[in-house]
Chain A
Amino acid sequence: MKRLAVLSGIAFALTAAAPLPPYTPAYEPTGVDERGMWMQADEAERQMRDSPFVLRDPALNAYVRGILCRTVGQDRCQSTRLYIQRLPIFNATMYPNGMMTVWSGLLLRVRNEAELGAVLGHEFGHFEQRHTLEGFKRARGLGDLLTWTALLSPTLYSSMATSVIGGFYSFSRGQETEADLLGLAYLAQSPYPAASATPVWERLMAEADATAAGRKRKVKTHRYSAGFFASHPTELTRATYLRDAAAKANDPGDPAAAAYRAALAPFIADFLTDQIKLNDFGGTDYLLAQLAADGWTPDLLYARAELYRQRGNPRDLASAAQFYQQAIDGGFAGAEAQRGLGLSLLRSQQLEAGKAALRRYLDAKPGAPDAAMIGALVGQ
């Protein structure tokens, strides 16, 4: 089933560089199912407008929207409303009424405008193909079948459940592949290079492995067949067919890495803080190393120090102290590095050096919200 999907995907990819299908603006839903789903989406968007999870910084919103528009083209992008949500997970969603959400965990993980465009183009592909509706119809049909089977034959139920669900997901994987390749077609028409999608999925794979390793779970050697319940194609399959298709498109371009770094710079520290507090040592350490591909900046060193101090094994505390010191030596602006250094040293029983660092923190930031607490630790 999946092999079929991949094959059809490759067939699609051969035409990826061809002109995009004509786009119908101002689409209106038809039929009971579709109108019902739009209504739900409109209600969801009504709530989104007042949601405390939405990042409303105008410059950031304009910048991300600009990337979407440059990727899919002005005509298509006009039919979407884009909301950036503060959620530390790699994700973006597209609703049938044209609402798109972009999560902060995605912004943290792409390295340039072209990579972000590749992911947003994929989501837009679902919208253009009206996939939500198809998925909904399919899910309803399945639920019906399972209920009937459960009642009529309880023993058959368990085996039916797995085979029926498997069918659902390979169908859905087909949709994912379709959206991937439509996304690639957008990229090929955009100023960005078409080969931008592959590295995103490759890094996502490596991060998942690092997370598993950090949690002492078995690391799967990569995954030609998707897990039965994975609704997306395996990242390896995905990286492979996207790379092949991109090679055929032969579409160079500027991925705009420097512009991306500059636009995201004011937000990265906050996004990293959200990531560090997820208790995912392996995945976060991998992610930091990726962000530091061009060198460890003081901000990245500070983030890594916080991560190690949080896990808090004796060797972690030694590493954390070292990273804080490097961040400070590199010119880290905040007094928090002295705080982290001091606490790491205290926990490592280096009392005098630890207290000295905490005093430097208090001198630099006497009005800190935890000043009294830190003062008590140094005996002031």
Chain B
Amino acid sequence: MIRMMGATVALLVAASPVQAGNSLIAPGAKILVAKSALAVTPASEWNKLGARPGRNSESWTLDGDGLNEITFYGGIPDGRTLFREVDKRNRPLPKVSGTMLITDIPALLESSYRIALNTPLMSIDSVEPARFAGAAGVRFTYSYTRPDSEVRRLGEARAAMIGGLLYMTTYEAPALYYFERDLTAFRQIADSAAL
């Protein structure tokens, strides 16, 4: 019923296609990302998507976000969610806490994905200490499957709590072929992160 109403409304409104305004990220130059002081220096070119997942974040891709996607989170403060709420009333997302331990960061990402994508098939597969943006942080891997598609995706992330703010970058892509192909390029970008 809700879907039917949605279809009716969409037809009546007849929205024009979204003009996302994607832009080129040129290799070799240091650039600020996620409307923050977080800077990276990519060695190869990427596309920056016009649509942002949330206020302090941005996404890069090579072939479209379903095939490969890097997301930067530029200092998410205490009390804020990782990305935009999907259904705040019935499925509220967990919030960043300024007192989180770095081991709580993977758990926050896992719970946020499970709720936003409506899937229990999301797991953190490994966690280890790593420096990120000049601070002591965490590197972790994860995998998930959305309920509306059989594509299994793998992810890798680096994160740190710096001055009570969450800084993180994630890379995810289908387990078939794509994840492995661009993992090295992602790691180079993650290594280059600086505040």
Give me the interface of A with B, judged by CB distance under 8 Å: 47, 50-53, 86-88, 104, 139, 142-143, 146-147, 150, 161, 165, 168-169, 215, 217, 231, 274, 277-279, 310, 312, 343, 346-347, 369-370, 372-377
Contacts and interface: CB of A to CB of B under 8 A. Distances in A.
B92 A374 contact: no
Those 4 A-B pairs whose CB atoms lie nearest each other, nearest first: A370-B127, A376-B129, A372-B128, A274-B120
Contacts of A146: 5, 8
Contact of B97 (A142, A312, A372): A312
16 contacts: A53-B145, A86-B120, A86-B121, A143-B4, A168-B1, A231-B1, A274-B120, A277-B111, A278-B91, A343-B103, A347-B99, A369-B125, A373-B102, A374-B103, A375-B129, A377-B101
Contacts of A377: 101, 103
A186 B21 CA distance: 59
A279 B126 contact: no
B110 interface: yes
A372 B129 contact: yes
Contacts of A87: 120, 147
Interface residues of B, number: 36
Interface string B126-157: 11110000001010000001010010100000
A343 B101 contact: yes
A274 B118 CA distance: 11
B73 to A, nearest CB: 18
A51 to B, nearest CB: 7
Nearest to A138: B1
B8 A310 contact: no
Given A168-B1, A310-B111, A143 B8 contact: yes
Contacts of A147: 8
A51 B150 contact: yes
Contacts of A277: 110-111, 114-115, 120
Interface in B62-99: 89, 91-94, 97, 99
Contacts of A51: 150
Q: Chain A interface secondary structure, helix, strand, loop or mixed?
A: helix
B45 interface: no
Nearest to A51: B150
Contacts of B94: 279, 310
A135 B21 CA distance: 42
Contacts of B120: 53, 86-88, 104, 274, 277
B104 interface: yes
Given A150-B8, A217-B89, A278-B111, 4 more contacts: A139-B1, A279-B115, A310-B94, A373-B102
A144 to B, nearest CB: 10
Nearest to B11: A147
Contact of A369 (B12, B127, B145): B127
Nearest to A50: B150
A161 B89 CA distance: 23
A229 to B, nearest CB: 8
Nearest to A104: B120
B31 interface: no
B195 interface: no
A54 to B, nearest CB: 11
Contact of A52 (B107, B114, B125, B145): B145
Contacts of B4: 139, 142-143
A215 B92 contact: yes
**Which of B93, B101, B124, B125 gathers most chain A CB within 10 Å?**
B101
A47 B148 CA distance: 11
**Which of B12, B93, B136 gathers most chain A CB within 10 Å?**
B12
A50 to B, nearest CB: 7
Contacts of A139: 1, 4
Contact of B152 (A52, A142, A310): A52
A87 to B, nearest CB: 6
A373 B129 contact: yes
Interface in B143-180: 145, 147, 150, 152
Given A279-B115, A346-B101, A53 B147 contact: yes
Contacts of B8: 143, 146-147, 150
A3 B125 CA distance: 53
Contact of A279 (B89, B93, B99): B93
A195 to B, nearest CB: 31
A52 B145 CA distance: 8
Contacts of A168: 1
A150 B129 contact: no
Nearest to A368: B127
A369 B139 CA distance: 12
Contacts of B124: 369
A343 B8 CA distance: 51
A106 to B, nearest CB: 14
Nearest to A217: B89
Nearest to B141: A369
Contacts of B92: 215, 279
A310 B108 CA distance: 9
A350 to B, nearest CB: 13
Contacts of A372: 127-129
A246 B110 CA distance: 43
A317 B146 CA distance: 32
